[in-house]
Amino acid sequence: MTREISCVVAPEDDGRLVKRVARARLGLSHRQFTSLKQKNAVLLDGAPAHADVIVRAGQRLSVLLEEEETGSAPASYGPVNVVYEDEDILIVDKDAPLACMSGLDRPGDSLEGRLTGRYGPGYVFRPVNRLDKGTSGLMAIAKHAHAQQLMQRALHTADYLREYAALAVGSVEPASGLIDAPIGKADGATVRREVRPDGKSAVTHYETIAAGGGYTLLRVRLETGRTHQIRVHLSHRGWPIAGDFLYGTEDDRLPGRFALHSAKLALTHPITGEQMVFESSVPDVFLNMMK
């Protein structure tokens, strides 16, 4: 599969070199540009162009991104809730419990397997942000390596906002605030994380939406992206997420999952530059538990 991305040379770029404009306007790394140039995949007005050619305003500069189909996940055929799709990105609303990735240590159904079933053998799964098996909600997935690179570059910046709905056990005081506590792997653990002074910086913003039934529904925004960050931070403050078997207590009303949902994604499209916002409703089970 080949994806062409291009731009029209702006007046301010008149007289610059192909390599400078391609990297600045199309977001290519030095390594990417060099690889594309060797394949004659850098085009100026439709013809292969050398790196040091001078461009003129109004010319069209393009690159041809060729994707090699190398995916190997076994296909599965469960539903995929596609919120948005174009040539470059895919936004899905993931079920829970459902693993993101397939693997020898993760047999069975996965979002990667379902997308392989949807797109066919060789599909390459390129998640921009991942969700735990027990977390539902919005995820961004790139459809080629260049889009993935640009979007991952935007993670933890104003160009990529993630908000979650979290149902916490107990009363949250103060009702809104910021948790700034470093997170690292717990001693002797393979998965479990904890707040510890030698951990990596982690910042979580939270705000109370509603309360009832011994629970507090929070809107949570990540400033950093540590493993299990929301789960660790809320548990550390004494407000574990309902159903969280690792940092709290399992709940039969949340089979195989816990009460954390990716409710909002606001991002800049990696190719068009369009500002995009996607929202997903809080699962009914969260609201029912508060009654």
Q: Amino acid identity of 212?
A: G
Buried b (16+ CB within 10 A) or exposed e, 260-288: bbbbbbebbbbbeeeeeebebebbebbbe
Contact at 8 Å (CB) between 259 and 136?
Answer: no
- Residue pair 285/253 in contact by the 8 Å Cβ criterion: yes
Tokens representing residue 119 in the block: 């797109």
The catalytically annotated residue of 13, 93, 132, 251 is 132
Q: Across the chain, how many H-helices and E-strands are there?
A: 6, 16
- Helix or strand holding residue 114 (H, E): helix 111-119
Phi and psi at residue 163, to the nearest 5° = -125, 140
- The first and second tokens of residue 235, run together, are 């548990």
Whose tokens are 């369009």? That residue is 274
Residue 132 appears among annotated catalytic residues: yes
Alpha carbons 118 and 135: distance in angstroms, whole number: 22
Cα dihedral: 143, 144, 147, 153 (round 10) = 110
How far is 129 from 134, CA to CA, in rounded Å? Answer: 15
Q: Which residue has the tokens 């066919």?
A: 120
User: Which residue from 269, 195, 188 is spatially nearest to 231, judged by alpha carbons?
Assistant: 195
Could you give the CA distance from residue 138 to residue 283 in angstroms, rounded to a whole number?
12
Annotated catalytic sites, by residue? 132
